[in-house]
Chains A and B, each alone.
Chain A
Amino acid sequence: MAERPHYTEIDHTADVGVELRARDLVSAFERTAACMFDLICPLDGVGSGWSRRLTVEGRPGDLEHLMIRWLSELLYTSTSEEVLLSRFKIEELNVEGRGVGGGSHIVALVHGERIDAGRHAVRVEIKAPTYHSLRVEETPEGWLVRVIFDT
């Protein structure tokens, strides 16, 4: 079973959001992914026997776009493969536009487990991550990420 990440839930009226800090950009992306899936189903109840390597592309120099593409790709993978994801290892992260087609990109190995309605305590369905109040920002204390999800 995976470990649950640390994050603060944002008090949004209709939806759910998270705010988290990370020491570097790679861990900011990895941890945001972990937070999103922890909202769906606490990660300490999700295994990691299933895995897949994913490539995500975004606009050059646009961290917010890359973050939304990354989270959307993970949600799509989760629903189309009927898996809950629990571990996220980013192998390549480029935001400056040196990726395929001149955009930013991520290559990651993600792990998870097939959804089992009897065993997984699914808390909420996340439809999508949104740009509303989105922050992917370097601060003196490290990276700050804030995402509000449509639920």
Chain B
Amino acid sequence: MPSGSRGESKSRSTSRGDLTEVADCVWEIARSGGMRVPGRVYADEKLLPQILSDKGIEQVVNVAHLPGVVRYSLAMPDIHWGYGFPIGGVAATDPSEGGVVSPGGVGYDINCGVRLVASTMRRENIEGRIPELVNALFRDVPCGLGSSGAIGRLSQRDVRDVMADGARWAVMRGYGTETDLDHTEEDGCLSSADPSTVGKRAIERGRSQVGTLGSGNHFMELGFVDEVYDEARAAAFGLERGHVTLMIHSGSRGLGYQVCDDYLDVMQNAVPKYGIDLPDRQLACAPIESPEGKRYLSAMACAANYAWANRQVMMVLAKRSIAGVMKATEEELGLRLVYDVCHNIAKMERHRVGDREKLLCIHRKGATRAFPGDHDDVPDCYRSAGQPVLIPGDMGTHSFVSAGTHTALDETFGSCCHGAGRVMSRTKARKAARGRNLADELRRMGVYVTAKGKATLAEEMPSAYKNVSDVVDVMDRTGIARKVVRLKPLGVVKG
């Protein structure tokens, strides 16, 4: 009987002694063994012990083994133990140097991301109406395990159109405006999408989930701007102190999971075919220029586009819901999309390496793009401010909006953190929540929460996460992303 233990990680454990501070809040892990580049971790003294408490750093080391990886295997300050890549991990690979693309560097929830809607409503305008608003959102945007039916079941052909056109598909059907597309990363569509690379199962799973939240850490959050750090950038983003905001966090749902699953299987054969040696089987990959790599990137783009259509439809349903409760039009309430970012993706982008500009495959696994304002991919309206970077925290404390910079382009391939980052396992969180009424506790903190599953609420409790302020401060201090405003939650819908 064969005993297959090859999935057991061959990686070594890391400790504080393996990290050298090379600049303020930047820690380097020197090359050793099969590492092709060093590792770099962005963290301060406060975050470092939490970061070293799990296997996240080991995974930074593992990612440094990928063929064609350029400069560093990077970790943002919200880094924690994932599977394959760490969450908060960034890696660039060079197709001209045999660089690979790894579905594990994107994850199952392809183009999981966040969008932020601003309004001209003041906090006082919705005082006492938070439960009514949250319950309306809960009713109008399907959420929870396998949630479906937001806009009726699509045909297989419709799903192919969604995958080809992304957020535009939704706008063409009356869900939103052209301006929304301008305020979405990549205009809500990766043109490399080729629906013929997506399997039947993924398409089938995509038929009923456009416009649905899903479960786990996905949420919709009503909040308000409670602190402004940078008046000029805040004004450019249309975010004013005391004004109400809506944040939506969701991804490509079952379609994306299936694409990842299907292509991880393809990659299992590609790894021996291309003679790739990996410390963790979940990092399975293929050269970007190989048929397997090209097909994966096309299929991944399809799932990414599906996610943008999903968030676009959800936003429109949510805006209608809010307008209904407030008995006003969306225009009267000044509801407008600030920006939409993805934080689980692999994208071909041009970056400067040494004195040359190169086309690289940037894997962002729990990391957000953070481009400066003069980058071609940032819309004109944010030229002076930089690209808005949306960083949700846990549901009890705060979320942040920062702005991308040239430093990010120079140091992190234009990438930044994506959230607070977990610090407590879901199992521990459930234990810690035993016998407590988290919904009541959050209500006392001024946050009204409605969740589909009780366990979700326990697992997502505030103490399960790092302090998001610490994470955002490291990005600000290192100049990767400038802190612009802080948002305080008032009401949350959890899947």
Check B3–A137 contact: CB distance below 8 A: yes
Which residues of chain B are near A127, meaning CB under 8 Å? 108-109, 257
Check A131–B280 contact: CB distance below 8 A: yes
- List residues of A (62-88) whose CB comes within 8 Å of B's CBs: 62-65, 68-69, 72, 76, 79-80, 82
Stretch binding the partner chain, chosen from A6-14, A29-37, A105-113: A6-14
Check B54–A79 contact: CB distance below 8 A: no
* Residue of B145, B214, B280, B282 contacting most chain A CB atoms (<10 Å): B145
Check A117–B459 contact: CB distance below 8 A: no
CB A85 to nearest CB in B, in angstroms, measures 14
Given contacts A72-B261, A127-B257, A138-B3, contact A150 B455 (CB under 8 A): no
Which residues of chain B are near A64, meaning CB under 8 Å? 4-7, 281
- A125 contacts chain B at the CB level, 8 A cutoff: yes
- How far, in angstroms, from A72 to B146 measured CA to CA in the complex? 16
Which residues of chain A are near B257, meaning CB under 8 Å? 127-128
- How far, in angstroms, from A76 to B255 measured CA to CA in the complex? 11
Nearest chain A residue, comparing its CB with the CB of B464: A13
Map CB proximity to B onto A45-64 as digits: 1 under 8 Å, 0 otherwise. Answer: 00000000000000101111
Interface size class of B (residues with CB under 8 A): 35 or more
- A22 contacts chain B at the CB level, 8 A cutoff: no
Check B425–A130 contact: CB distance below 8 A: no
Check B144–A117 contact: CB distance below 8 A: yes
Chain A: residues with Cβ within 8 Å of the partner, total of 46
Which residues of chain B are near A151, meaning CB under 8 Å? 216, 426
Which residues of chain A are near B109, meaning CB under 8 Å? 127, 150
- B237 contacts chain A at the CB level, 8 A cutoff: no
Check B83–A150 contact: CB distance below 8 A: yes
CB A55 to nearest CB in B, in angstroms, measures 15
Check A14–B422 contact: CB distance below 8 A: yes
- How far, in angstroms, from A40 to B81 measured CA to CA in the complex? 21
Map CB proximity to A onto B3-22 as digits: 1 under 8 Å, 0 otherwise. Answer: 11111110000000000000
Other than the given A64-B281, A135-B5, 10 more pairs (CB < 8 A) read: A12-B81, A14-B425, A65-B4, A121-B453, A121-B455, A123-B455, A125-B145, A130-B104, A131-B282, A136-B7
Instruction: Please list 10 pairs of residues, one from A and one from B, whose beta carbons are closer than 8 Å in the complex, sorted by A's number.
Output: A13-B81, A16-B425, A62-B4, A64-B5, A69-B265, A80-B205, A122-B144, A127-B108, A131-B7, A151-B426
Chain B residues engaging chain A, CB cutoff 8 angstroms: 1-9, 54, 56, 80-84, 87, 104, 107-109, 144-146, 201, 204-205, 214-216, 254, 257-258, 260-261, 264-265, 268-269, 280-282, 284, 422-428, 452-456, 459, 495
